Structure 1
Amino acid sequence: MNTATADVDQYIGGFPEEVQTLLEQIRALIRQAAPDATESISYGIPAYYLNGRQFIYFAGYKKHVSLYPVPRQHKAFEQVLMEYKGSKGTAQFPLNQPLPVDLITDVIKFRLQENQEKASQKKAAPKPQER
């Protein structure tokens, strides 16, 4: 696993080919769903920002790749995400199973929608009056 990387290419390049392939797939899904998103490294892993806030991260490990944050508590994802290990906001996809592209795409779209809603609320919120 990588310790400190400057960019996402370097991060992905630090993994074995099998992991690199999966990480590149996730990266492509994010770029396809959010072509205007800014890509960077945050907390040592790839992070994507839109409307001034992060909306999704991914990471590689020895036996799995992960996506953060995932809506485990949301009814639309509750059952399907139970199939994958992870904490409250994480899903781990084992290297020895096919990457669930449709699920990952749905999570990305969900997070994009949340991001857009938060950005819209921020714009619509009345500014406090100065004293």
Structure 2
Amino acid sequence: MGTVTTYLATIDGPDRAALERVYAMAQEMVPEAEEGTSYAMAALIYRGKGLIAAVQAKKFLSIYPYSGAVIAANLEAIPGFETTTGSIHFSAVKQLPDDALRRIVTARRAEIDAKAR
């Protein structure tokens, strides 16, 4: 894929708007994050680590906070959303609530900061 901007240019319609929302909110919360690639996905990179990626799959959209612990710690904030150990699935119609997305980005940033010390 490439950078976030390059990746988003390959997506159309409501899915693109939903993915842009994720990246915009994360960028607003962590302005020092930069576009890059992590685990072959376009992602926001913070302190050299993947902060968050949001991608389109065949049947759903996914958020990858690069941390199973972050997902597990925030399951109560995302009832009704399918998760794996590394991702949270959503759609353009059923997007993650703003507060849940903020909690996930905040937790991932804190995790990266703690490991950097």
Unaligned runs of 5+ residues in structure 1 are 121-131
Q: What's 1:32 paired with?
A: 28
Q: CA deviation at 1:29?
A: 0.7
Alignment partner of 2:112 out of 108, 112, 115? 115
Question: In percent, how many aligned pairs have the same letter?
Answer: 24
**Structure 1 counterpart of 2:75, one-letter code:** E
Alignment partner of 1:91 out of 68, 88, 92? 88
Moved more, 102-111 or 42-51: 42-51
TM-score, normalising length from structure 1?
0.75
Structure 2 Cα separation of the partners of residues 98 and 43 of structure 1: 23
Select the structure of larger CA radius of gyration. 1
Q: Tell me if structure 1 keeps the 8 A contact 2:71–2:104.
A: no
> Cα distance 1:68–1:56, how it changes in 2: closer, same or farther (>3 A)?
same
Q: Tell me if structure 2 keeps the 8 A contact 1:56–1:67.
A: yes
Alignment of 1:65-80 (within 5 A): 65-69=61-65, 71-74=70-73, 77-80=74-77
Structure 2 Cα separation of the partners of residues 79 and 6 of structure 1: 32
RMSD of the TM alignment (CA)? Answer: 1.9
For residues 92-119 of structure 1, what are the alpha-carbon distances to aligned partners after superposition, in whole Å with 9 as ceiling and x for unaligned? 1123224422211110011001111111
Question: How many residues align structurally?
Answer: 114
Q: What's 1:15 paired with?
A: 11
TM-score, normalising length from structure 2?
0.83
Unaligned runs of 5+ residues in structure 2 are none
